[in-house]
Amino acid sequence: MPQPILIANWKMNLSLKELENLANDFKKELGGIQDKDIIICPSTVSLITMAGLIGDSYLQLGAQNVFWQDSGAYTGETSPMILKEIGCRYVIVGHSERRQYLNETDEMVNKKVQACLANNLMPILCIGETRETRQEGQTDNVLHRQLISGLDSVNLIDQEQLIIAYEPTWAIGSGLIADPEEVERVFALIRQTLVNLYPLTIVNNNVRIIYGGSVDASNIAGFSEIELLAGFLVGGASLEVGKFKEIVKFL
């Protein structure tokens, strides 16, 4: 089982000066931690600056998005090859905000997962149901579809690592937190789907399942019983090092 992972998704926040200050705070408070993977995902334009700022610490760099081709006539897109070149190791793929505002489909998400792995980047594949989906009793079907489509033709081999982030969309940035018992049930479902796709050793050694959605110090204790929980994807609470540190300490 790989070590726990904490992902700070800074989204489209922070001026360059604010980013520098926060990066320095992270480095001071969390930069020496080696027994957990701590990933910072700043906006795409800040990635190179961030790579320089965290360079001599154990903090790792992640991107919030990627395109599925290495180069070519794709105006405005970001090459996975260049992400790798500047020191990125992880990429958030299929975040619900991109599915909602940028119309990312399961097919696009799948191409991005494949492009990450082809470039030796670890995809953080986000899946999650909307409030309506849950009310209609379709949660399991939607999660299963997102997972199966997102991993279509993805043959995890050798050292290739994958992170599945279960993020109910209604919990993201809303202050609402999913019931830990329900998260545990969903995690078991995700794991079973993965076991149907890959050899058990690959699922055990190469895949981490994490939760995201309004996680902070006040609600984190509820997740302590979830056996399969390998980490958290954190938005709002990652914009203050003190709040994020509480989550890091918990895991």
Q: Is 167 a catalytic residue?
A: yes
* CB 64 within 8 Å of CB 95: yes
76, two tokens:
């405005």
Q: Per CB under 6 A, which region of 68-76, 98-106, 138-146, 233-241 contacts ligand PEP?
A: 233-241
Q: Distance (Å, rounded) from C-alpha 181 to C-alpha 187?
A: 10
10 annotated as a binding-site residue: yes
Binding residue for ligand PEP, selected from 2, 31, 87, 173, defined by CB under 6 A: 173
> Is 54 exposed, middle or buried (CB count within 10 Å of its CB: 0-12, 13-18, 19+)?
buried
9 annotated as a binding-site residue: yes
Q: How far is the CB of 195 from ligand PEP (least distance, A)?
A: 25
Counting contacts by CB under 6 A, is residue 169 touching ligand PEP? no
DSSP string, 147-206: HHHHTTT----TT--EEEEE--GGGTTTS----HHHHHHHHHHHHHHHHHHS-HHHHHHH
Q: Is 144 a catalytic residue?
A: no
Q: Give Cβ neighbours of residue 97 (< 8 Å, ≥ 6 apart).
A: 11, 172
Binding residue for ligand PEP, selected from 214, 220, 230, 231, defined by CB under 6 A: 214
Q: 162 vs 111, 117, 207, 229, CA distance in Å? A: 14, 9, 5, 14
31, two tokens:
């930069």
Q: Which is nearer to ligand PEP, 66 or 215 (CB)?
A: 215
Counting contacts by CB under 6 A, is residue 168 touching ligand PEP? no
170 annotated as a binding-site residue: no
Counting contacts by CB under 6 A, is residue 212 touching ligand PEP? yes
Counting contacts by CB under 6 A, is residue 234 touching ligand PEP? yes
Q: 23 vs 14, 64, 238, CA distance in Å? A: 11, 16, 11
Q: Distance (Å, rounded) from C-alpha 145 to C-alpha 128?
A: 11
Q: How far is the CB of 37 from ligand PEP (least distance, A)?
A: 16
Q: How far is the CB of 81 from ligand PEP (least distance, A)?
A: 25
Q: Per CB under 6 A, which region of 129-137, 141-149, 202-210, 234-242 contacts ligand PEP?
A: 234-242
Point out the residues that are catalytic: 95, 167
Interaction site with ligand PEP (CB under 6 A): 9, 167, 172-173, 212-215, 233-237
Annotated binding-site members:
9-11, 173, 214, 235-236
